[in-house]
């Protein structure tokens, strides 16, 4: 009888594990905050064998802002930046930033934000409720800084490594009471007028339940469509839609320098006399902190930082480009326990599988970088960018 009981118990545990795995596989949402549990676990260790070279840029002298490049590390708090700095031997491209500030990320109705509300604050300059997209706390649509840039005749772009209809990018072009209506959010791109669009999420563009083929609709509007990163360098004109994965792109070490390539090609195609606004997101720093994978998360941060290096070198030569680097929130309750700069190793603890409410950094380089010094609410980032755009001649 005892053996039968033990066998039945084992089968039940196996079944529970399989059901949990199946639920995880079927869950296509990126809102991992729902798995927050505040439980501690053993820390993880990661070591970098080959660090990458960082750039050095000189401060620009002019005060005119023609272009604005906003770079958002999703889930990239001071904790993640600190771990990345150690792992790359005490060097990051972010070290070049002339001005530093801090942003508080709480939402109108919750202390700990999600990317919908956090991204809306940065994009639109308002505090809002959890999970809102491009709306204020009362549910009113709010114009984003990208829309203000379009009103000024500037070209615009969005380059991410997640699905392009995820919170951060759609905060700049859409309005919704809830982030979960992803097919509808993808459809917002058809009439968005954005000149460069790149990321993942092609699953939401084709074979849709409503029968629409969003790729065809964009091509009919004059967009060039690519689905292979190898085709990025061959692009000679916009507008462009690049969708490189069914949902999120592969991890950084597997996908290669897609974000770097998209950023540099977007800048090349967007550069014009009236200027441009470009948002670049290191999207998956967040994903891997949700999963307590410090190595994967740090490789995403390195991919984002290498992209920052390419952007900064271009901005240094241009002299009229403001670069802002920040985060919508921090993720994972990451704590750096010990490590070595010389050995490029860290040992960490994660305290949650969700987001956490710690203040996040704001770095700025170029003309008007000093506008971003200080400690302020995340909505101030959007308001200060908007003010710079409105003063453009």
The two structure tokens encoding residue 111: 């202390």
Judge whether 322 and 65 are in contact, CB under 8 Å: yes
User: Is residue 356 scored above 60 in pLDDT?
Assistant: yes
Distances (CA, A) of 209 to 165, 204, 272: 16, 9, 39
Please state the rounded mean pLDDT for residues 296-322: 97
pTM of the model: 0.91
The two structure tokens encoding residue 330: 């921090």
Judge whether 196 and 240 are in contact, CB under 8 Å: yes
Four-residue CA torsion sign, 316, 124, 170, 104: positive
DSSP 373: -
Alpha helices by DSSP H, listed for 152-273, are: 167-170, 182-187, 214-220, 252-255, 258-270
User: Is residue 345 scored above 60 in pLDDT?
Assistant: yes
Please state the rounded mean pLDDT for residues 359-376: 98
The two structure tokens encoding residue 100: 């530093």
Calpha distance 319→337 (Å, rounded) = 40
- Write down the pLDDT at residue 370: 97
Q: Each residue of 199-247: pLDDT tens digit?
A: 999 999 999 999 999 999 999 999 999 999 999 999 999 999 999 999 9
Boundaries of every domain in the chain = 39-390
Judge whether 108 and 117 are in contact, CB under 8 Å: yes
- Write down the pLDDT at residue 14: 44
Calpha distance 95→73 (Å, rounded) = 15
DSSP states along 48-72? -SSPPP----PPP------EEEEEE
Beta bridge partners of 159: 198, 280
User: Is residue 41 scored above 60 in pLDDT?
Assistant: no
- Write down the pLDDT at residue 2: 42
What residues are labeled active site?
Answer: 115
For residues 280 and 178, the model is more confident at: 280
Phi, psi of 340, deg, nearest 5: -150, 125
Average pLDDT, the chain: 91
Plot region of 222 (φ>0 → left; ψ -120 to 50 → alpha; else → beta): left
Alpha helices by DSSP H, listed for 154-293, are: 167-170, 182-187, 214-220, 252-255, 258-270, 285-290
pLDDT band at residue 180 under the 50/70/90 scheme = confident
Q: Each residue of 123-171: pLDDT tens digit?
A: 999 999 999 999 999 999 999 999 999 999 999 999 999 999 999 999 9
| Homologous superfamily (CATH) for 39-390 | Alkaline Phosphatase, subunit A (3.40.720.10)
Please state the rounded mean pLDDT for residues 5-13: 44
Calpha distance 194→279 (Å, rounded) = 11
**Residue 377: burial class (beta carbons within 10 Å; 0-12, 13-18, 19+):** middle
């Amino acid at each position: 009888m005892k053996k039968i009981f033990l066998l039945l118990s084992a089968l039940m545990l196996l079944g529970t594990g399989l059901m949990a795995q199946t639920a995880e596989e079927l869950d296509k949402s990126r809102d991992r905050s729902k798995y927050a549990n505040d439980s501690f676990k053993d820390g993880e260790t990661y070591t970098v064998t080959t660090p990458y070279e960082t750039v050095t840029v000189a401060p620009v002298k002019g005060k005119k802002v023609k272009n604005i490049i906003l770079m958002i590390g999703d889930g990239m708090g001071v904790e993640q930046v600190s771990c990345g700095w150690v792992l790359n031997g005490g060097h990051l491209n972010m070290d070049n930033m002339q001005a530093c500030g801090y942003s508080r990320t709480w939402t109108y109705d919750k202390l700990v934000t999600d990317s919908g509300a956090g991204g809306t604050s940065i994009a639109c300059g308002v505090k809002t409720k959890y999970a809102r997209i491009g709306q204020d706390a009362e549910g009113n649509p709010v114009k984003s800084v990208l829309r203000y840039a379009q009103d000024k005749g500037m070209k615009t772009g969005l380059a991410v490594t997640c699905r392009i209809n995820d919170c951060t990018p759609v905060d700049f072009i859409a309005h919704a009471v809830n982030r979960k209506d992803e097919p509808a959010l993808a459809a917002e791109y058809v009439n968005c007028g954005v000149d460069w669009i790149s990321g993942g999420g092609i699953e939401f563009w084709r074979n849709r339940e409503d029968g629409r083929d969003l790729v065809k609709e964009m091509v009919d509007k004059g967009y060039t469509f690519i689905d292979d990163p190898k085709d990025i360098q061959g692009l000679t004109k916009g507008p462009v839609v690049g969708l490189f994965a069914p949902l999120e792109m592969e991890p950084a070490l597997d996908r290669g320098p897609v974000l770097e390539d998209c950023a540099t090609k977007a800048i090349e195609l967007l550069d014009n006399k009236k200027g441009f606004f470009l948002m670049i997101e290191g999207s998956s720093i967040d994903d891997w902190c949700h999963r307590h994978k410090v190595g994967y998360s740090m490789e995403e941060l390195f991919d984002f930082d290498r992209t920052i290096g390419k952007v900064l070198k271009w901005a240094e030569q241009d002299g009229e480009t403001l670069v802002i680097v920040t985060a919508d929130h921090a993720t994972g309750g990451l704590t750096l326990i010990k490590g070595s700069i010389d050995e490029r190793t860290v040992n960490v603890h994660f305290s949650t599988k969700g987001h956490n409410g710690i203040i996040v950094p704001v770095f700025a380089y170029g003309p008007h970088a000093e506008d971003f010094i200080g400690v302020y609410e995340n909505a101030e980032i959007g308001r200060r960018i908007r003010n710079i755009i409105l003063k453009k001649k």
